Every structure is written in structure tokens, then in C-alpha cells.
Structure 1
Amino acid sequence: MASGLHTWSLPNPITNRRIGPDTKPPRTTKSPSIHPWGACTQYLPASFVLHSPRTINNIRIDASALRCGRHRIASDQVDLHIVKCWYMAGLGVWADPRKSTNAEFDVLAMGSKSDAGRENPGIDGGGYIMSRDQLHLAPELLLKDDELIDFDRKRQDNIYRFTGLPTDSPKLLPFQLRANESKQIWVTVYLPPDTVPGRYQGQIRIRAPKRASIAIPITLDVTPIHLDQPALQYMQYYDSFITAPWSNISHSKYRTPQQMLAELCDLRAHGVENTTVCEPITGDQPNGKTFDFSNIDRVMDLREKAGFPVRKQTLFWTPKTTSSGRPDMLTDFYKHDPWIIDKPFLQRMERTIKAVLRWSKRRGIPEVCVYGIDEVQDQKLKAEIRAFKVLQKLGAKIMLAVSPNFHDYLGDYVDVANVQGDPHNPKQIPPRVIRRIHAKGGRIFNYARPQTGECRPYAYRRNYGIDMYTSGMDGPWPYGYQCTSGRYQAYDRIHTTHGSWLNHPFSYPTTDGVMITWGSQGWRAAVDDVRYMTTLQNMIDAGEGTGANRSKAREFLKNLDSNGNLPAQRRNAAQLIEKLHP
């Protein structure tokens, strides 16, 4: 406190407890310290908070290298962000919109839906804002340039110091801490594959003009564990593309190759195994042009560069070429009523899929899975069967986001189902549904539990970690990586043009990279929880260790509890792995 700064660390950073500018410091006088632990290839989270009774300008924070004897983890593996609070219409992605009564918003909203809207992040061209009593000043963005976005308490609105898309800094910039406000700092330590096990020590330094510096010690324990990949498959809807935009496609989905590569690398860094691919192909129009796969080839090249094993995994193809922008493969084949699946429709679909399968064979892609009409329920599902028969006869697979009762209407035509509900509640997802699709060699994923974009990191860790691991399902598949509900504004969490739902951001686009979110750190923790459980199970299956220790490990895995202490269960798994290690 000699510097005028009150600092305290958060021992469990993956939490649903929100730290905002009005958070009061604890009464404890204990000096802050950071004690992460983990294994090679993990991204380890940590966090601390700053508070001051007076405004402090030009605060600088940096991290030292971490050392263990002659071994070293470089300082650039210690990544620092500010957890930025801004106004959001609710803490999730659903709310009830009301027409704005604020004259300023109404005037702007009455403007035409043109590119002008892109120059006003925070103002939605559609004219709807969420009710002011639903607004929350909530932590969501992880920024390095704290001044990019700010909030105005009087207007209850966000302030954007950029037009179009922002450019964040590659390193944490100096920032201001306002009087009587708190600011949370997020720390991510990456452990490269060649990190030597041991106890590493270093520090985070906090400096400000004319004030004594503060050093927060870091003690990092690296375990001698090699983590296997998770038994679950972690999936995301990724619906951006590099094809040049035209009038019926929202600019919010267009990416340069540089942007797409950064986003794909971010997906891999968060443990995502595969995603949908929305890049369309051109050709086979009435003018008889040849199919052109050049852009989707570029996308596959970018995916391989980002670390996706393109030649070993299914291509989930969902090209967005319709004005609806929906992830519907079948409606993209037909310009009229999507329920009219007639002979011309089937002929065009057959020509297209044959070309796609020939192309995928040349690329070494083992399997193509075609996305059906999105979120269709009950009797309407039957309208797709004629198309599904043709697709499967040609050798393609079928995927749907669908209700758990899809077998009642489609039988076994679905190869990959993405269903909503709690897999531990038989009234929501009956176990027979999971057993049936697995018996036919298919896969079943969990949808919207929750969707991306919620300020609840612990919910993602729980639901998509141990809870999913013990469910019998193949993994989570929420929507989506970057979904915008407005026409252009990726950075708008107050307005909407889509009824009751807001943006669904796992991350946000920038001019040359990615702006990650607080919620996405819970997803990454879920992946790591499952990696520990998978590694332990694999060691049991391989007969490693003594019989007594394997019995203890089996009993531990049998009694996993997603409502229990998740950090403690990961720690227990690590200890059991070390006991089984030869």
C-alpha cells in the first residue's frame, strides 16, 4: 500500500464471480502472490486486482522470466491482459428487446442499413436496444490497450476509440486506474512442450510515476506429466470466410487470410479440435461455369498452418451463400422454398457434392459431412430425407443441429447430431438417443449449454469439462466462435436486430488478430480438466503402475463430480497420474 495501490490475487481465477470497477478490496493485508501449476502444453490462468483511492496514471506492468535452476520459461510466455468491463444487455446471449426510447439511439437507428453502421460500433442499424434495466457493467474483454474501449456511466453506454475493427497492442500498454475503482489483470502462462519439470520462480512488476514499485511473486510448479489429448472432441461453429463479400453477406463474416489464420490459431490454442467450414465454392450456375475451389483450398491451407489435422479429420461443410446467412447447406442449393426438394434441386445437389467429394479426395480429406437445415424440428425434418438419401448414396455424411427426438422423424439418416439439453437429465437427452447413434457409428454433441458469449467462465468449465466427460456424449459444440446479431457490429453487446438474442462471441475480430474473452478461459480450463482425466484413464487401460494404484484411479474416475471442487479433482488426477507413471 506504500505506493497507494491495493493489490490482491485471486486463487481460483476460473470463476463466475465478476470483478468490476466497483469491487471493493478485501480487508486482508496479506501480500498477493501467484501459484499456478500444470503440465507441458498447458495455458495456465492466474489473476490479480488493483485498487486505489486516488487516480493513478501511467501504470506499467510486466513479467520477468521464470527460472528453475538453469532452466527458464521466457517472459514472453507470461501473457498479460486487462479484464475490460463494458455495458452488456444481460450477462448471456438472450434477452427481450424493446424499442429504444432514447432519442439519440432512435435517430441513429432510423438510418439506412449501410456501411455507415460499421463506423459506429455500439450503434445497431436495426433500431433495437435492450432495456436499460437489463444493462450490466460486466467483465468480458481481455485487452492489452485499455483505452480502446471504455464505458460512460452517465449515458450507460460504451465508448469506442476506433472505427471499423480495432487494432490491439501486442503487449500490455500503460493504463490509468481511476479513483476508488478496481481493475482486474489476467495472467496466462504457457508451458512449451520442452519445459523441464520443477518449481519456477519469477515476478510481476507494477510501476507508476513517483510511486514505489510492487512485485508480485510467481511460484510455478511444472509436473512431470505428459498430457494426452482429450477423449472428447471440442468443436465450434466457425462461419467466417475469405471469399470477397457481396450484397447479401454481412461484412462481419468476411476475413482476410491474416485475420482468419489468427482466429484459427486462437481456436487451436483453446483446445478446439475441429470447426465448421463455411467457405463457399463458385460455379455450376445457369451459365455453366466450372466449379472453383480456389478459396476453400486457401482456407484448408490456413487450417493446416494453424495446426488443424486437415488430412485426418472430417470436413464439416456449411457454406453460406444465401441471403439468410444461416448455416444451412441444403437451403444454399436452392433459391426458393427450402422445403421444396424436387428433381432440379436434387440434380444440382448431386453435381455439387460429387465435385466436392472429388476435390476432398485430392486434398486428402477423409470424410465430408454436409450440414442440413439448421435447427429444424419434428415433422419438418422429414422434408430433408430425400436429399439425405442422395447425399449418403454419394458417400457424404449428414450433420444436424436438432432436438433429441430426431430419430422419431429421421430414423438413422443423421451421422452427426448436435442436440440441446442436459445429458445427465434423461428427460432432456434420453440415454437411448446416445446409445442408438453410437451403435450406428455416429457421433452426438452437446449444443448451447451454454452458447458462447456468456460471462460465466466456471459454467463453461463445469458443463464442457467433467460434466461432459461423464455424459457419454462425444463433446460440446456450441455456437459460435464469432457471431454478430447486428448487421456489422461485432463489438455491440447492447443492441440487436435478431429478436431476443445478442452477439455470441467466443472472441472478437481485430484488424490483424483476435481479442479473446474472459468466458473463453473457462472453455480452455474444461479442455484441460478432460485431458487430465483422459490421461489417467489411458494409463489404467495400458496397465501402468501397480494394481492397487490402478484401483484407486478407477475409483476416483468413477466418482467424478461436476458439482464438486473442480480444481481439487484436477489436482487429485495429477497425483494419481504421477503414482502410475513408471
Structure 2
Amino acid sequence: MKTARNVLTVIVLVSSLPLCGTLSAAQEPIGATVFDSMDQVELWQPKDGAVCGQATERRLEGTGAVKLSFTAQPGTWPCIERRVRPQDWSRYTHLTFQCYAETDGPELPRRAMVVVVYSNNRKAFASVDSLKQGAWVTVAVPLGPLADAVNLSEVTRLKFSAASGFRAGSKTAFYIDNVMLIAAASDTHPAEPKRVVEAPAPKAVPGEKLPLILKINPMKRADFDGATVPAIAEPMDKLGGRVCRGEFENYAFIINPKRELRGVTVTWGDLRGPATIPAAAVDARIAKVWWVAHRLARMGSSRLKKTPWRLWKPRLVADVLVHDDALIRVRRNVPAASRPELAREEVLNEIRVGRGDRYVVVNRADVPFPADATVYDADRLQPFDIPRGLKKQIWLTVDVPDDVPSGTYRTTIVLKASGRPLAAFPLEIEVLPFDLEPPGMVYGLYYRGRFDIPPRGRAPDNYAKTMEQYRLELADMRDHGIPYPGCQINLSARGPKMLDQILDIYEELGLATDRFFYLRDQLLLRHEPGEIQRLVATWSEVLKRHNPKGVFYCYALDERRGEAITAQIPKWDAIHAAGGKVFASISVGQFAYTRGKLDVPVLHGGQMVEDQRMDRGFDAEHRAEIELYRQSGHCEFWSYAHPFPAIEDPELFRRNYGTAMWRAGYTGMMLWTYQSNPTATLFNDFCYDNYRNCTLAFPITGGLLATVQWEGLREAVDDMRYLRTLQKAADAAGRRSEIDRWLRSLDFSTGDLDRIRARFIDKTLELFRAKYKKVNESERSPQ
């Protein structure tokens, strides 16, 4: 058996499977078998355009690694596979291998490889996340979850395949070595029929040879599970970057201790520079790991509808941001060997209720959330413990004041454990000398919250709100760049004074009033055209008292098709006659039924998959649909469900609701939804057959728990603000056509969004400097 030397030891997360690359504290390795030392290339067969060869230039030990090289082409899946006589893998827990990747493209796709295990004609897939270009990476694929799809006691073939996402024409090579099967001990004591253990409890692999503090880009998907260090983490030098006044910016780091730590604190002082940014402008939160629903393998939308989420595997991932680490805890009930009927382990998310130590399970359908329960988080980060073998990810959010002078501001982040110094590093931001423009896109949300009905209990609710909670949530949307919350308060029953009150709140909080989005499609269900025209005329008059340019938008019947769309047109005409407009969610292929009278189509993204990109696959249909609306005189096209807010991937939300959405031709979004589940299933990701919990910020008593995707959406808005600022600077410099040509050359679908924003900033600074230089020269010239 080969021994890997000088290998970047990173257990890569296999995104379609839970707990990938982790072993519980009780799961010590007890055996290993070499499946293939990769010294005999003739055992592997290339397919679908792949070239297979022995690579001596990249090897760990032995003759060499097997090289899978290919030139990416649309619709192909280059791969190598090895067929074997039936082998029994059922006693093994992991398939491991080492991979070195290189490509002539700008970077590897986030999911660059798929591992496929066959049992005769059945197969199971595992997507490999975060291969590192130019370095050896160790990949561990847990075999247990594959048992649902294949018979592990009769494995007949293994395949390594390129995933989708490579730029057409790019040349890529994978060097694969040391393919092994690993057996680990069970973490269940045979004498116990069932026991409850804390989770996660996996052995810290990797991390033992990594620094105590590592920085990590919070806007990159890392699938942090609390036990392993993501491949994208880097040794800490400092945190920070370039920001603008009025911007919220996130930074993150991981604490990777070699021993148990207790009473960990994170503190900092004022940021000093040309002026002072108070320490209170920085907020620290823990990226809390809990169980989420996760499908086993990639599937199309047709199969998605037939596969209940409750049958899919759970996984641990950092999703919610909390100040008090003890607010949420995760556990699992492990079935014992003596209880074979418990084929699957039960995973539990528990949340603390009240001010004491009482916890309730929140992810089981048979355990509804108590209607009288309160849930409190702290206002600031509380001391926390890190058990041996685990890690913590800390997010820092800097709220840059609107009036701070440009320049560099610094402070020091200090970590202590049990009162003793642990680590310290600088936080340094550069406030840029220009202010950001609005994004130039409509950013709205479906919002079900309403303060006109009394809450049904003391428990948090996505629907009935206290006035305090209602205002807090609207302010949260504003701070995340969403100025257009939809309204579901029944204005037909409450009258124009209710609309006046809502608009007063919008104005006090700084939300937009040039458009008002009324989300109750009951307006069309319960009223005839004449009554609709009267109501909309009254509401439009109230809106114009607050904003003379205000337009009242009415929601048509939700997601209708065919003649059910056309049948609404007389009521749409009544809305238009009253000065209002009509918007509605609608699927691709329904344009003809609108007769050109739907003012704003909110186009359904089509799927709830985890690797959507705005300009791939299904979106070609969306582009064609947008063009049909454009040719009929429409100028607004919004997106939603692209994806739903259930996926813990800030980068995906930043990309798909930011520059990629703009590139695809959309002019805005109306995303379902800010909060989706009622009180009984408020925090439950496993409560629906075909959908997950579509929540961006969980309501708690007098507060909110933001999700990482919610923060990603804020970055999407900021990316558009930087883009619009660049375009405005180009207009002022008379260089707009040049900048637009340059923008068309950028890859918004797969490019590094941080690098793209940096280039926006560089170009904007260049234009401002050229403008100031021209002004100064004109002032010095003789008159």
C-alpha cells in the first residue's frame, strides 16, 4: 500500500451526501483495503471523450497516478471506469482517493467531479466539492448513504467522471491515486438498544496540522459541518477589504483548536483611521451547524416531484447565524445493532425555549412547536465552548457608517479562552472615496407577515406579527437591500386607513413607496371587475398622497396556466383602468395566454436544485420568453425560485440574484419567501414532501436569526450597486460604450465574484481619477 507524502490533507465535502469526510469520535479506523494503487492504467477504460494514461509527472508513490484528461464539450461527461468481479463493500464505511486537478480555465468549477458506484445495473452518485487546483487533495466518500441506491455487497464498477460546469473548450486533467476502502468501527454500543449522543462528534480530520485560526470567505459555499476544515480555508493574516459608506460587509474565520476550549470570547475595539468607526458597528455571530434536508443525488424536476424530502438524507451544515451558541443544539438517536428495524438514524435539531434550559425538538412532524414558547437570542456574541475535535465558524459583519471619511480603518480581533489569550489578528477595511448607486433592479420579497391580526400565541410566527416584530423584519429587509416587501394585509377588509398606516411605516423605515406590491390574489378571486376598479382607484389615491409617482401593483392569480390566465384579463383591465398594474408568478410557455396585458411576469426558475446557474440549461427558455414579452412592449421581467431560499449556499444566491440575473435579461426579482413555515413547523426543514423550509430569516421573540443565504442575497444587491456605480462613472467620463463592452466580456455565471467586484472598484477609481485630473487641468488652464 502506498503512503501519501507531502499531500494537502483535506477531506473534501461530497455535497450530495451527509457527513461526508467525517468519522464520529467513536469511529476509529479498524481496517483498509487497496481497491487500486493506480499503477496499472490498462485496468481503467476512458469514455465520452476522456483520455486515460499513466502519469509519472504527478504521483505520490509507485509507478504513477492515473491521468483523466479531457477537453470540455457541451453535453459530454468524460470519465474513466474500472469493472471488477462482484466485490463486497458492505463492511467498509468510506471510499477514499487522492486527486490532483489542473485546468487552463480561470478556476475549477465548485463541483468538478462525480464518483459513481455500480452494482450490476444500479448506480449511485456522489458529487465532489472543492477540489483544489494545483494541489493534492484527499477525498472521502461515505458509503453508507449509497446503500439506498446500490447493493454494496455486490459492487461491479467504479467510475470517476467530470461534472458539469467546465467552460466549453477548456482543457482539464485529474490525477487520481491511492483508491482505497476504509472500514471504521461502529459508534453504537451493542448493549444499548438506543442512545442519544451529541452531534456532530466526528474525528477532526483534517485540522490537526492546520493553524488555530483560519480565514474563510463567507460568500463561498463551504458546507461547513463543524468537524472538518473546508478546503477553501486559508491561514489567517488579516480580515478586511474595500467597502463603501452605508454598506454591510461580512468576513469570517474558523477556530480550529487541538484541544477542548471553554469560555471562548471574541472582542475588538473601535476602528481607527481618518475618523473613528465605533466598535458597535461590528457584529460577531456563530455560523450554527444543524441538520438540514438533503437529496442523495442530482435529479431532474420530474423525479424531484416524486421524491419526498423526508426520504432523503439529512446532513449537518452551517445555516443560521446566532449570538448565543447554546440557543440551538443538534443530536442524533443512533439505532443499535440489536434494533435492526431502526435502519436509519434519527437526527434532531433542538432549540431553547424561554429563558431557562428547556429545549424542544423542531424538526419532527409529530412534535409541533409549542404555541406558547418564546425563543430568545442574545444581542451580542456570548462566550462559547468548543469540544475537542470540533471547530467554530465566526462571522463578522461590519456596518459602515454613512458619513465616515474615506480611508483605512483598523482594529484588532482578540480571542481568549477561559480568560487567557488565545489569538489576535487585525481587521482592516478601506472605505472607498465614492458612494454606491442604487442597484437599478427591483428587489422584492413575498412577505406574509401582518400586524392586523393578533398572534395566536407567544411563539414566533411567519404570519401574525406584533407591531414590534413587523417593523423589525421590514428594517431587516431594508438592511439587506430589499426595499419592496410584498403586502398580504387584507386591504379590502381593513380600508384605506390601513394602507396609510403601512405607508407611514415604510417611510419611517426608509423603504420605497414608488411602487406598492399587493400580494393578495383573493382580490381577483372574490371581487368582480367593477369593485376591483373602485378598490384599486382608492388605494392608488392613498399611495399618491405619499408618493405622487407611486404605482399600485396587484397580484394576479398565482402560477396559473393556459386559459386560467386568459380568464383573468377582464379583471386585469379593471386594475389598469384604475391606474394600477398587474404582476404574477408565471411559468415559461404561458406568454400567449396573457394577451400582452401582464405588466410584470415573475418567471418561475423551474427547479429547486442546488447547482442552478442563470444562463444554463433551462434558462435558455427563459431568455426566449423574456424576448417575447419585450417584443410585446414589456420592459420588466422578474425572477423567482431561482432557487428558493432553502439552500445553504450564499454564493449561489449572490450569483443568481445579482450580476448573473442582470446578464440573463431580468430587471428584478420577487423571491418566495422571507419566511415560509407556520409556527408548528417554523424551524423544520423536513416537514414537506417535495419542498424544504423556504426561510431567509427565522423569526424569534423580538429578533431574527439570519441564514447564510440571506447574507448572500445582500451581496447580490451590493454587486449590482457596484456595477451601476461603475456605469454612472463611465457616463460622467464619456466612456459608457467602452465599459459596456468590457462588462460583456465578464463571466458572471462561473467567474469569481470577489475578483469581479474588485475589478468594478478598480475601474470606478480609474474613471474618478481621470475625471478629477481633467477638472484640475481645466482649472489650471488660462482663461
1:366-405 superposed matches below 5 A: 366-405=550-589
1:474 aligns with 2:667: yes
Could you tell me which amino acid in structure 2 is paired with residue 257 of structure 1? M
Tell me the equivalent position of 1:491.
Answer: 683
What is the rounded CA distance, in whole Å, between the counterparts of 2:523 and 2:212 in structure 1? Answer: 52
Deviation at 1:148, TM superposition (A): 1.1
Shift of residue 405, structure 1, vs aligned partner: 2.9
Q: Summarize the Cα distance change of 1:438–1:560 in structure 2 as closer, same or farther, 3 Å threshold.
A: farther
Cα deviation digits, residues 125-172 of structure 1 (max 9, x gap):
xxxx813x4211111100001111110033411111116342211111
> What residue in structure 1 maps to residue 351 of structure 2?
160
Q: Does the CA-based 8 Å contact 2:241-2:429 persist in structure 1?
A: yes
Aligned partner of 2:699 in structure 1 is 509
Residues 370-379 or 553-562, more deviating: 553-562
Structure with the greater alpha carbon radius of gyration: 2
Q: What is the SS of the residue equivalent to 2:256?
A: strand
Distance 1:415 1:195, change over 3 A: same
Matches within 5 A, 1:288-307: 292-307=495-510
CA contact (8 A) 1:56 1:179 kept: yes
Hey, what's the Cα distance between the residues in 2 that align with 1:266 and 1:29?
A: 31
Name the counterpart of 1:73.
Answer: 277
- Mapping of residues 282-431 of structure 1, within 5 Å: 283=493, 292-310=495-513, 313-319=514-520, 328-331=522-525, 333=526, 345-364=528-547, 366-421=550-605, 424=615, 427-431=620-624
| Deviation (angstroms), 1:20 | 1.6
- In 2, the alpha carbon distance for the partners of 1:462 and 1:196 equals 30
Q: Is the 8 A contact 1:7 1:48 kept in 2?
A: no
Q: Shift in Å at residue 449 of structure 1?
A: 0.7
Q: CA RMSD in A?
A: 2.9
SS of 1:188's equivalent in the other structure is: strand
Partners of 2:751 and 2:462 in 1: CA distance: 40
Write the letter of the residue equivalent to 1:330: L
What is the rounded CA distance, in whole Å, between the counterparts of 2:317 and 2:733 in structure 1? 48
> How far apart are 1:423 and its partner, in Å?
6.1
| Matched AA of 1:174 | P
Q: Which one of the candidate residues 757, 765, 770 is aligned to 1:570?
A: 757
1:448 aligns with 2:641: yes
Matched, 1:524 2:711: no
Q: Is the 8 A contact 2:260 2:388 kept in 1?
A: yes
1:534 is aligned, of 720, 724, 728, to 724
1:29-178 superposed matches below 5 A: 30-68=235-273, 70-90=274-294, 130-131=310-311, 133-154=312-333, 155-162=346-353, 164-178=373-387
Rate the CA distance shift 1:171–1:97 in 2: closer, same or farther, 3 A.
Answer: farther
- Describe the shift of the 1:210–1:572 C-alpha distance in structure 2 as closer, same or farther (beyond 3 A): closer
1:256 aligned partner: 466
Q: Residues 201 and 433 (structure 1 numbering): CA distance in 2 closer, same or farther, change over 3 Å? A: closer
Superposed CA deviations along residues 377-396 of structure 1, whole A, max 9, x for unmatched, are 12221121121122222222
The CA deviation at 1:199 is 1.9
* Counterpart in the other structure of 1:118: none
More strand by share: 2
Residue 355 of structure 1: how far off its partner (Å): 3.3
Residue 463 in structure 1 maps to residue 463 in structure 2: no
For 1:361 and 1:196, how far apart are their aligned partners in 2?
A: 37
* CA 1:96–1:182: 2 relative to 1, 3 Å: farther
Listed as ranges, the gaps of 5+ residues in structure 1 are 100-128, 284-290, 320-326, 335-344
Partner of 1:18: 223
Q: CA deviation at 1:363?
A: 4.0
Matched residue pairs, number?
A: 511
TM-score by length of 1: 0.81
Residue deviations 1:104-125 (CA, integer Å, cap 9, x gap): xxxxxxxxxxxxxxxxxxxxxx
Letter matched to residue 424 of structure 2: A
Contact 1:374–1:401 at 8 Å: present in 2 too?
Answer: yes
Question: C-alpha separation between the residues in 2 aligned to 1:492 and 1:66?
Answer: 39
Distance in 1 of aligned mates of 2:307 and 2:631:
44
Higher percent of residues as helix: 1
Q: Distance in 1 between matches of 2:638 and 2:443?
A: 9
CA distance in 2, matches of 1:157, 1:432: 44
Measure, in 2, the Cα distance between the counterparts of 1:29 and 1:305. Answer: 43
